[in-house]
Amino acid sequence: MAQMNMLEAILSAQKTMLARDDKVVILGQDIGYFGGVFRATEGLQAEFGSNRVFDTPISENGIVAAAIGMSLNGLRPIAEIQFADYIYPAFDQIASEAAKLRYRSGGEYSTNLTIRTPCGGGIRGGQTHSQSPEGIFTHVTGIHVIMPSNPYDAKGLLISAIQSNDPVIFFEPKRLYNGPFYGEPDKPSVGWDSHEKGEVPEGHYTIPFGKAAITRAGEDLTIITYGTMVHVVETAVKMAGVDAEIIDLRSLAPIDNDTIINSVNKTGRCLVAHEATKTGGFGAEILSIIQENCFWKLRAPIERVTGWDIPYPHAFEWEYFPGPKRITNAINRIMEA
Amino acid sequence: MAQMNMLEAILSAQKTMLARDDKVVILGQDIGYFGGVFRATEGLQAEFGSNRVFDTPISENGIVAAAIGMSLNGLRPIAEIQFADYIYPAFDQIASEAAKLRYRSGGEYSTNLTIRTPCGGGIRGGQTHSQSPEGIFTHVTGIHVIMPSNPYDAKGLLISAIQSNDPVIFFEPKRLYNGPFYGEPDKPSVGWDSHEKGEVPEGHYTIPFGKAAITRAGEDLTIITYGTMVHVVETAVKMAGVDAEIIDLRSLAPIDNDTIINSVNKTGRCLVAHEATKTGGFGAEILSIIQENCFWKLRAPIERVTGWDIPYPHAFEWEYFPGPKRITNAINRIMEA
Amino acid sequence: MAKKQNQSNIVNSLNKLHVPQPTARPDEFNDFSNLNIPNVEQAECPAIDTNPHEMRGLAYGLIRVLDDDGNAAGNWNSTIEPHVLVKGLKDMLVTRMFDERMQMMHRVGKISFYMKSTGEEAISVAHAAAINFADMVFPSYRNQGILIARGYSLVDMMCQCLSNARDNCKGRQLPIMYSWKKGNFFSISGNLATQFSQAVGWAMAEAQQGGGRVASAFVGEGSTAELDFHSALTFATAFSPPVILNITNNQWAISSNQVVAGGEKTTFAARGIGFGLPSLRVDGNDFLAVYAATKWAAARARAGLGATVIEYFTYRVAPHSSSDDPSAYRPKNEPDFWPLGDPIDRLKTHLINLNQWSETQHETLIEDIKTEMKQNYKQAESYGTLKSGDRPDVTTMFEDVYEDMPLNLLRQRQEMGL
Amino acid sequence: MAKKQNQSNIVNSLNKLHVPQPTARPDEFNDFSNLNIPNVEQAECPAIDTNPHEMRGLAYGLIRVLDDDGNAAGNWNSTIEPHVLVKGLKDMLVTRMFDERMQMMHRVGKISFYMKSTGEEAISVAHAAAINFADMVFPSYRNQGILIARGYSLVDMMCQCLSNARDNCKGRQLPIMYSWKKGNFFSISGNLATQFSQAVGWAMAEAQQGGGRVASAFVGEGSTAELDFHSALTFATAFSPPVILNITNNQWAISSNQVVAGGEKTTFAARGIGFGLPSLRVDGNDFLAVYAATKWAAARARAGLGATVIEYFTYRVAPHSSSDDPSAYRPKNEPDFWPLGDPIDRLKTHLINLNQWSETQHETLIEDIKTEMKQNYKQAESYGTLKSGDRPDVTTMFEDVYEDMPLNLLRQRQEMGL
Ligand SMILES: Cc1ncc(C[n+]2csc(CCOP(=O)(O)OP(=O)(O)O)c2C)c(N)n1
Ligand SMILES: Cc1ncc(C[n+]2csc(CCOP(=O)(O)OP(=O)(O)O)c2C)c(N)n1
Ligand SMILES: [Mg+2]
Ligand SMILES: [Mg+2]
């Protein structure tokens, strides 16, 4: 085991797979010689050559399309989209092509493409460097949607993504690259060495899709979340002094219904939290699953704490962000109901 | 008043606005001389000239981008996307530009663009001529999302869309163009002259966004739906013999929370139906709103009856389609719960 | 500034948007006399390793081999074995008659949709003849001739159109949206042009792995406006992969004339010049020209010289699809005036000139194909039609969304009682 | 076939993908001796109504007016009033010094982000000088020179960068993402190239309404790979609207050299040739050349002749942004060797040659700008900085999502207790 931050874990996953499977290739903007604007591919071109790791023109559509084509010819491409906010030009290739290819061809063709992309706010990136568009992709059947919350999971899940024979969108909460973020921007930041999930095996291991993690067991209420919000929720739970069960979904599609349902059936209370905007977000799906499956056990309305329904504003980053206080308020409301 | 089918009503709305406001222009593939593959712009180029109504290259991105640009120069464009399944290449211009322009520029710039696009199945169109992607757009804040279920609403809502100073996506359930569809493909189809909403004023009128219609008042349960499913639900309600209150949302964003909440608070039971796939669809948002607001009045789990989580299959159109039988089953489950 | 004088080419009157217009509308007349058709001697044939900048002229001329009398000549003429030509003629005929049969089947309600390639058969068939079977084709929906030239079973094609129990797309796709993996023929997408950029990726992987095969992708001229066309050319120029980027300019995109797609000011082949790619403009109704241009492009690709753009200049004689009636937007007799003739007639005359074919052989062949087509259809229909209920098993509806069926789909299948 | 012989231009070795590489990496040396810089006499200047096909050469040459000694010559030389040049010099200096000031403010933590345009000032400033104030600019993020040339208040620019109470973008955008409606300067988007296709739409509306104004849009060479570039050129060729489509080729796109964007096989100006559009390649560090090319393109547009594509050949002396350190991917001294010099130095020399300027005047001007800049910054800071808390009112966070605030936002604002 080694100490890794989340970037190192993501780098390690890619390096492990490049070494293990010569069909693995990486493409994206600035990911070659330079090693990526977040350094998630640092050193990989030097080690594996530009035949395996290379820069592309600035065309998200072209990147995804080329990666699909490469996968059709036996390769196993990892495509980096520099910011999740810039994934939209590739939307058609993802939703109409990658997601539907296996189906439309009666199983003859399919793509194993993995798309890695940094998402979420907290770096003063303004509205085009902060978005969390996962809720747009969870409505597209035929792709897997993953978002890890820590280095250990990031590496294991990314290796699973690369090995998967289905297309995967792997969202990386950039606020977590260097350390867990507990939702308090004014507090000094801490590194992953302070967190048990910063211990990451050097070699190959996988974490299966569709399995949520219970990051805190509890009896009072269930909080379902993923990505950065896992740590923010932790803070809020401490502040509220409740015995919450915190579920880190990790995999949004496929989603781990059983873990969710068992927990809410036990606690009877539930809160859903994500950084993305509320209306039509993935929180609505989580809430619906619970409502449909745990109706008779629910003792209070499920609440959603999310980003407001506005673009992520540069100067009001922390007013937009669903921080510990808003979560605590919601916890209190739910516990009092 | 005149008898109009839904296509005629949509044509009439556009004609009314072209005549009333010389800033209104229409652009899209095959919409000029030919009048559109569904004939929704028939005769408009002949009447208003190719300076007002014209064909574009086959680029959905270019159409939306050009329309945004035209609106910035004082025009009021209506852009047709030939099928909703082909809107994805324009996704970036819609989600990153049209939706966020007013916000990012501090209110200096905005776009009044209206996008019209036929959606939904029922014409044996296969997976790329049948989709209902509204749930992808309802998660994008900054745009209005509209879907009418009848000629009268279609005209009034489309005129509102054209007059709106915000971007609007106007989904037209193509299965309803020629007549209401009651969910029974084997029965002879009927025209809009058999339906009171086939009576449409010739001139200018508007229906405000954010106001749902109660198409059937009832006490037993609330059924919330929109588009084609409004009529399918009607059939199912007759089959089930329940006194259901049917709500036709018409406007998904903004959504009419009050009508929904009042109804469910009254009935205590609720079903949500749409043709789009289930996971992450707009039904999840509707369900969440109800759960959050009507929790204490709910007497049974809310159910969603939707298309399955698969691409729309050509040969299994009616197996995919959430027809009256599936709805009736759900109604029975809800009433028995 | 502005030293040299020139005639005006002002296109915009003030106060009015320039909206491109076709030469003629239904009540007008078009004999294509506005087209400048160069003779077969005009186009040079550069060595494949010529610098693309030295062959820009090819994007503005027209590569032709068969002259008006059906004789082969010019710089692009080369010896083609007669059996290749005879096979080509046969494949074109089969393609045309297959189209006719299926169009009829649509008319009588056996299939839900159809798209013919009438008049454009040489493009698919000669192209297929000039590349290797192992080369990977990323087709548009009007390349049925490639399947036929590659020997795909007509029965299988018909079964796909019938969405019956033997449809290898399992009833999921519209008719004609074929997929034939064993034939190195990619699954046709309903979303225009998406295959163009994917083909470039496939070819990049081929270069990366040193396989020596070529990718060949097709779009219509209307579809060149789509985004994936740009991605394809951008990646093709950056990475020089072995790919042929084919544009079938059949003058129409549903009701929109090629001028709407941007064909008014230059050729579609010229798009490739914008990226420094060798770009050929070819008489698409000339089997020998299509064959020669394809061979040249494939040789470039195999030599590691990268991508070639080819525009095939042709005419869509057929309606856009079974849902279309072209008399609503173009002169009814416009197809009759197409100055580049019929590809089948032209190759037939050539073969007769070569003493490799005769009118009798031709008539016999047509009769044979007719019989075969009937038998094939009979067999295909025995596996069912969409209406007969002999569809693929309905439980398959939930398969192939993912490699393994996730829980939500398992549950939905159960909910359906399957 | 394949008659003519030629030297090999084989780019792919087998078994390896061709991946374009810059001339030099950090530990290597690049003096740009690979570049072929034509002299000022080379480029012809056609009449604006010349058929675009007759001026294709302009996309491959380089339009220059100022020679190495700072004298104006060549076909593109024309009389420009000295006060226009002096204003240009001043605006370029202000632009450069504004950049330096703001970069410093970033370094000391007053602003969260910055992007300089060092070395590229002539492009924005001369372009702005050559079009009318009423012409609508669709800028990229490196066109601050246009704002300055149009007389936008430096204080307002600084306030935007500071996200303070006077920021007209209300704190919603990253620094430098300006919007100035009164100055006919479009809101800058973080999404590359989206403005390019919008500008074409704006110009279509202008043609439609007969307003006589021109749209002018900018992208970087890296951004030409984006989809909106293709939409822009496609619609520009189809509808011939009055638009200038400017490409700033500053050799780099973050860490990616222009070869990655497809600059290896041809010029970026050539992209326009693919669409039959007049396409100019211009020395971007030559104020007079940028001015002349812009005037020419604007005259074409105003005469109803449609769109022009212009590539400005320049060099990004600055890092990509305040988050970037170019020494990680290019030789540290590469900027020093850029063969087209510094745009400010070149115009200054020219003005001195014309006896319209002197070293003393230059130094005084610099001092004046320095003082002004300080004062402006002081004033801007008095309205607050992002950190000082003098931000726009937080309730505005929920405004301008729609024209009228919908219920969900009203309720969310209430929930926040505002
Ligand atoms: C993305 C997308 N937009 C629109 C359509 C609808 N459509 C189908 S075929 C067609 C015309 C294509 O014309 P062209 O590319 O010239 O090909 P041709 O039909 O002439 O072979 C259109 C607009 C589509 N299938 N996909
Ligand atoms: C759609 C999109 N993709 C990626 C980015 C990230 N990005 C910002 S600037 C840039 C480089 C652009 O280079 P170029 O167009 O040459 O402009 P320059 O910075 O040289 O002025 C990239 C990749 C973005 N902003 N938008
Ligand atoms: Mg065509
Ligand atoms: Mg650049």
pLDDT top residue among C392 and B116: B116
Please give the CATH topology (third level) of the domain spanning A2-176: Rossmann fold (3.40.50)
Q: Which residues in A have their CB inside 8 Å of a CB on C?
A: 25, 51, 56-57, 59, 61-62, 65-75, 89, 92-93, 96-97, 101-110, 141-142, 144, 164-166, 210, 253-255, 257
B129 tagged catalytic: yes
Range C176-183 average pLDDT? 98
* Angle, helix A6-20 to helix A151-163, in steps of 10 degrees: 30
Nearest CA to ligand 2 atom 11: D253
pLDDT at residue C15, rounded to an integer: 64
The radius of gyration computed from the CA coordinates of chain C, to the nearest angstrom, equals 22
- Mutate which of C192, C218, C231, C258 for ligand 1? The one with the most ligand atoms within 8 Å of its CB, which is C192
Rg of chain A's alpha carbons, rounded to an integer? 19
pLDDT at D202: 98
Joined together, the tokens standing for residue B322 give 């959430």
One-letter amino acid for residue B133 of the chain: P
Q: What is the average pLDDT value for chain D, to the nearest integer?
A: 95
Whether the CB of C192 is below 8 Å from some CB of chain B: the reply is: yes
- Do the strands B270-277 and B303-307 form a parallel or antiparallel pair, or are they unpaired? parallel
Q: Range with the lowest mean pLDDT among A200-204, A319-323, D11-15?
A: D11-15
- Which band of pLDDT confidence, cut at 50, 70 and 90, is reported for residue D390? confident
Cβ-based contacts of B277 with chain C (< 8 Å):
none
Q: What span, in angstroms and rounded, lies between the C-alpha atoms of A69 and D280?
A: 35
C226 contact B CB<8A: yes
Band of pLDDT at residue C2, cut at 50, 70 and 90: very low
**Which atom of ligand 2 sits closest to the CA of residue D224?**
15
pLDDT surpassing 80 at residue D2? no
pLDDT at B100: 98
- Taking an 8 Å cut-off on Cβ atoms, the answer to whether C191 and B32 are in contact is no
pLDDT of B306: 98
Residue D113 has pLDDT above 90, yes or no: yes
Nearest Cα neighbor of D139 from D130, D148, D129, D147 is D147
pLDDT of res. C13: 55
pLDDT of residue D388: 81
CB contact under 8 A, B57 and D235: yes
Range in A184-188, B31-35, D134-138, D326-330 the model is least confident about = A184-188
> Please, which pLDDT band fits residue D386 given cuts at 50, 70 and 90?
confident
D307 pLDDT above the threshold of 60: yes
Query: For chain B, which residues make up each domain, given as ranges?
Result: 2-176, 210-336
Q: What is the mean pLDDT of residues C185-214?
A: 97
pLDDT recorded at residue D3? 41
| Amino acid occupying residue D377 | Y
B2-176 against B210-336: fold identical? yes
Separation in Å, CA B118 to CA A90, B247, C318, D114: 22, 22, 26, 44
Tell me the per-residue pLDDT of A247-262, one tens digit each, with 9 for 90 and over: 999 999 999 999 999 9
Residue range C74-80: average pLDDT?
Answer: 96
Instruction: Round the average pLDDT of chain B to a whole number and report it.
Output: 97
In whole angstroms, give the CA distance from residue B246 to residue B261.
13
pLDDT of residue C418: 78
Q: Would you place residue C289 in the very low, low, confident or very high pLDDT band (cuts 50, 70, 90)?
A: very high
Confidence of residue C12 (pLDDT cuts 50, 70, 90): low
CB B183 within 8 A of CB B236: yes
Single-letter code of the amino acid located at A247: I
C135 lines ligand 1 (CB under 6 A): no
Average pLDDT, chain C: 95
pLDDT tops 50 at residue D9: no
Q: How far is the CA of C312 from the centre of ligand 3 (A)?
A: 11
Asked if the C-beta of C170 comes within 8 angstroms of chain A's C-beta atoms, the answer is: yes
Given an 8 Å threshold on Cβ–Cβ distance, is B142 in contact with D402? Answer: yes
Domain extents for chain D?
38-387
Ligand nearest to the CA of D220: 2
> Chains that contact A by 3+ CB pairs under 8 Å?
B, C, D
Q: β-strands A168-173, A199-200: how paired?
A: unpaired
Give the model's pLDDT for residue D13. Answer: 55
pLDDT at D10 over 50: no
D35: amino acid identity, one letter: L
Please give the mean pLDDT across all residues of chain A.
97
CATH of domain C38-387: 3.40.50.970
Tokens linked to B325: 């039988």
- The per-residue pLDDT for range C342-383, each reduced to its tens digit, is 999 999 999 999 999 999 999 999 999 999 999 999 999 999
Residue B198 Cα, gap to closest chain D Cα (Å): 30
Which of D115, D192, D259, D320 has most ligand 2 atoms within 8 Å of CB, for mutation?
A: D192
Q: What's the pLDDT band for C3 if we cut at 50, 70, 90? A: very low
Q: What is the mean pLDDT of residues D201-216?
A: 97
B23-60 pLDDT per residue, tens: 999 999 999 999 999 999 999 999 999 999 999 999 99
Name the band, by pLDDT with cuts 50, 70 and 90, for residue A122. Answer: confident
Whether residue B187 has pLDDT greater than 50: yes
User: Architecture of domain A210-336 in CATH?
Assistant: 3-Layer(aba) Sandwich (3.40)
Going by pLDDT thresholds of 50, 70 and 90, the confidence category of residue C417 is confident
Nearest CA to ligand 1 atom 21: C220
Cβ distance of C198 and A166 shorter than 8 Å: no
Q: What is the ipTM of this complex?
A: 0.98
Is B58 a pocket residue for ligand 1 (Cβ < 6 Å)? yes
* Best mutation target, B39, B58, B309, B328, to test chain C (most C CBs within 10 A): B58
Integer Cα distance of A121 and C391 in angstroms: 50
